[in-house]
Structure 1
Amino acid sequence: MAGPRTPLLRPHRYFRRHDGSPPLAHAVAVVAVVTVAVAGGIAVFLGEFAAALDMTTTVDNPAYPGDAFCENSAFEDTPTGCSEPKTVEREVGALVTEELSWVPAAALVAVPLFWLFEAGVLHAASALAGGDGPFRDTLAISGWAMAPALVRLAAVGGFLVYQLRTVALSGSVDGAIDALQAAIAGVQTVSLAAALVVGVWGGIIRAYGISEARDHPVREAALVVAVLTVLGLLYELV
């Protein structure tokens, strides 16, 4: 009888089936899915945020060179753009989106780097506890342990989208921003609750994984992972 194809539900059977050395390519695929999902989720949030801030504000016109050029008699010819208005009306949401447009792209780099960092910490902690085995296997284990993060992404993303679509905004920009801040104030509670679930789920995957791959007794592996998980949750609370 074939064993489970993923360690998400029966990690002990999955890792035992692969003799503690799960295929790294499968874990890379998982990390790729999580990376795209995180970047896409951020892009969706920015779009929803822009749609919620459906109002305009007056900003300096970038096409206007400025009074120092346009009202300076030292210039024989009027500089290009001086006929443009000094200020223009812009959508507030569009301005915010433009300022944060780099974040989804940054996530495409940050998530894989976090995977490598997390695997390095787990590998080092296992080594300190007497574990033995190649880093490649720890990478694969850490990659699979990132899959539950999709649950947190869905929970937090769903909460934010719902709040942004149902919040009532006032006419002023300051009032609208205050209303949005109040609407999403509960995101930290949702995020931490989801982090607890994801931490336990991912921790079970890591514990059984390093138990098989790094030659730890299950209890010892669980203790190593539990310490790292608690430290991670405490870091989020700071």
Structure 2
Amino acid sequence: MPSPIAPLSRAVGSLLDRSRRHFERARSRSGAVAIGLVLLVTVSTVGGIAALGAAFDATIDREVTVDNPDRPPEATCEAFGDDDSLVGERCDRPKRVDVDVGEELRSATGDYVAYGLFGVPIWWGIFALVLHGGARLAGGSGSVGDSFVIAAWAILPEIVRLGAGVAAVWYALSTAAVDGATIEAIANEIVAAIEAMQAPLLAASAVVIAVQWVIVVGGLEAAHDLDRGTAGAVAGAFAVLAFLLAAV
């Protein structure tokens, strides 16, 4: 009697064969291609951060009154508020101001653009070096450059996860009631709305990690000359770690 998992096993095997053949082509293992892939992920991450800020601004239509950040503390104004100086001028400003929460969150999100610009290349380098170490411990024979190429292809699916995350946040906030009277209350409502999307986000992460596993296994087979079982185990260790981090 045929095994019920035989069709799935054949499908996975076919995907792994295609991944291995992909890395057996010289162009796929080009350093220039790898750098281009990292640049693509970097630009996409920056775009995703901007899109997340736009999601906050478009879905949160709420104003709250907060302490004016441009006005000095009250003690300073009591001591120097009457002076004909810059401090005195700033003390003439209102103590409390109304702020648009959506605009404030969009502005705050922009502070993370540097993460996209520098974080992606840094994580690529860390992943490549750790992957190379794992491959060599498993008996792999490829160069560190090969590991950097494999890592570059492996982070490419992160664009899909990023897009899914932005779409999920946009949907969650557009369907949630964000009407708190304070910044703290609104923050709690935003967190609750996003947490409600945890299951679909985790499912999207699982799919992306599975694709990355296929990519890494094929790369280790072709570039490091590992057998499929060993390559699968090395890639599986990274996949499990990635899934645990996504689930936190």
Query: Structure 2 length as normaliser, TM-score?
Result: 0.81
The residue aligned with 2:92 is 83
The reply on whether 1:183 has 2:193 as its aligned counterpart is yes
The residue aligned with 2:51 is 44
Evaluate the alpha carbon distance shift between residue 74 and residue 15 of structure 1 in structure 2; reply closer, same or farther with a 3 A threshold: closer
Equivalent residues of 2:23, 2:222 under 8 A apart? yes
Of the three residues 15, 19, 34, the one matched with 2:23 is 15
Evaluate the alpha carbon distance shift between residue 235 and residue 65 of structure 1 in structure 2; reply closer, same or farther with a 3 A threshold: closer
Evaluate the alpha carbon distance shift between residue 107 and residue 230 of structure 1 in structure 2; reply closer, same or farther with a 3 A threshold: same
Shift of 1:23: 0.5
Evaluate the alpha carbon distance shift between residue 63 and residue 161 of structure 1 in structure 2; reply closer, same or farther with a 3 A threshold: closer
Of the three residues 128, 152, 165, the one matched with 2:161 is 152
- Give the letter for the 1:183 counterpart: A
Equivalent residues of 1:145, 1:202 under 8 A apart? yes
The residue aligned with 1:196 is 206
SS of equivalent to 1:57: strand
CA–CA distance in structure 1, aligned partners of residues 225 and 83 of structure 2: 81
Spell out the pairing of 1:203-222 with structure 2 (5 A cutoff). 203-222=213-232
Residue by residue, what CA displacement relative to the aligned partner does 1:84-108 show, whole Å, maximum 9, x if unpaired? 2222211122333333421122221
SS of equivalent to 1:106: helix
Query: Aligned residues: percent identity?
Result: 35
Of the three residues 107, 114, 127, the one matched with 2:123 is 114
Give the alignment's Cα RMSD to 1 decimal.
2.7
Evaluate the alpha carbon distance shift between residue 187 and residue 111 of structure 1 in structure 2; reply closer, same or farther with a 3 A threshold: farther
SS of equivalent to 1:71: helix
Shift of 1:222: 1.5
Shift of 1:235: 3.2
Residue by residue, what CA displacement relative to the aligned partner does 1:150-202 show, whole Å, maximum 9, x if unpaired? 22122222121122223233363455444433322233222221121111111
CA–CA distance in structure 2, aligned partners of residues 73 and 139 of structure 1: 59
CA–CA distance in structure 1, aligned partners of residues 122 and 46 of structure 2: 14
Aligned pairs, number: 231
Evaluate the alpha carbon distance shift between residue 84 and residue 156 of structure 1 in structure 2; reply closer, same or farther with a 3 A threshold: closer
SS of equivalent to 1:85: coil
Residue by residue, what CA displacement relative to the aligned partner does 1:189-222 show, whole Å, maximum 9, x if unpaired? 2222112111111111111111111121122211
The reply on whether 1:53 has 2:63 as its aligned counterpart is no
- Give the letter for the 2:131 counterpart: L
More helix by share: 2
Query: Structure 1 length as normaliser, TM-score?
Result: 0.85
SS of equivalent to 1:80: helix
Unmatched segments (≥5 aa) in structure 2: 1-14
Residue by residue, what CA displacement relative to the aligned partner does 1:121-168 show, whole Å, maximum 9, x if unpaired? 110001101111211111011101111222212222212112222323
Shift of 1:119: 0.8
SS of equivalent to 1:184: helix
SS of equivalent to 2:141: coil
Evaluate the alpha carbon distance shift between residue 56 and residue 26 of structure 1 in structure 2; reply closer, same or farther with a 3 A threshold: same
The residue aligned with 1:234 is 244
The residue aligned with 2:10 is none
Evaluate the alpha carbon distance shift between residue 146 and residue 66 of structure 1 in structure 2; reply closer, same or farther with a 3 A threshold: closer
The residue aligned with 1:141 is 150
SS of equivalent to 1:38: helix
Of the three residues 53, 70, 77, the one matched with 2:77 is 70
Evaluate the alpha carbon distance shift between residue 88 and residue 115 of structure 1 in structure 2; reply closer, same or farther with a 3 A threshold: same
